[in-house]
Amino acid sequence: MSRRVLVTGGGGFIGSNLVRALLERGDEVRVLDNFSTGNRANLVGLDIEVMEGELRSYERVHNAVRGVEVVFHLGALGSVPRSVQDPLTSSAVNVEGTLNVLLAARDSGVRRVVYSSSSSVYGSTGDLPRTEPMPADPISPYGVAKLAAERYCVSFSRVYDSFESVVLRYFNVFGPRQSPFSQYAAVVPRFIDAIAAGRPITIEGDGEQSRDFTYVANVVDASLRAAVAEGASGRIFNIAAGQPTSVNAVADAIGRILDKPVQRIHVPTRAGDIRDSWADLTAAREALGFEPLVGLEQGLQHTVAAFLATHPEAT
């Protein structure tokens, strides 16, 4: 059954992958993005409605949600280092912007909001794997902002009749259309770009810190499930691969796929970073029927192939 949906941040890496999946299943898709970090090229050739605007403008957000059944709220100002440098803007976009989305969705009769949160809300709590009931203790301003937005989502589900929201905590997502060129770029696209070109990669710390690297198709699948799952409203779910992998191991895997040597430059650990993080997926499995579809090695192969196809000059 076709639905009319809104994807905030639809010009971004995860958002543009989600938009394609929604179109493939026959939905009518509207995108709201200010393209400060998203890329218009990610949406070229797609049969969608694009609205350019700020999440910090209630009027613009209200116009965007009008007439839609589900809002996938991915619009955000990402990056832990960026939030350390500019916590005020991080809060304005990630907290106030989310509140605007929730208010506009409530006022327009939207059935459900699926909110994209982050594993950064857990902070450096020592218990592994991360489970949703454990106390959140974010280190960075970004993590604090995402946690505040989560609580607004849960609160709206509790205090407003017929309003539904589902929170998805993403862990270290990677995949096609993730840019390596921003100063805040994630490690996977940065490593692919550097190793393909024969340049050294830069690793913060010793590289043995672990993360739950999650291929983007898994996140997209979870988002689609979260939009329709019964009994999921007002709940929070980890979305990940469910296993830890060191940064060094990811670099080595990319080197194998590219058949290139991996040269490393180690620099001090960044402020706001944590040592280890990986997710327990029990709740998402039980409530959403979620299971990671694509493993790390296969996901890296897809990502490397997509990068080389769009950047043939890289090698």
Helix or strand run (H / E) with residue 266: strand 264-267
Check the CA dihedral 307-309-312-315 and report its sign. Answer: positive
Distance of alpha carbon 44 from alpha carbon 20, whole angstroms: 11
Residue with tokens 């672990």: 210
Q: Quick one: angle between helices 247-258 and 187-197, nearest 10?
A: 40
> 184: which residues sit within 8 A by CB, 6+ positions away?
78, 79, 81, 82
Phi, psi (5° rounding) for residue 72?
-100, 105
Question: Using an 8 Å Cβ cutoff, are 41 and 101 in contact?
Answer: no
Which one is catalytic: 115, 142, 152, 215? 142
The amino acid sitting at 125 is T
| Residue 142 a catalytic site member | yes
Active site residues: 142
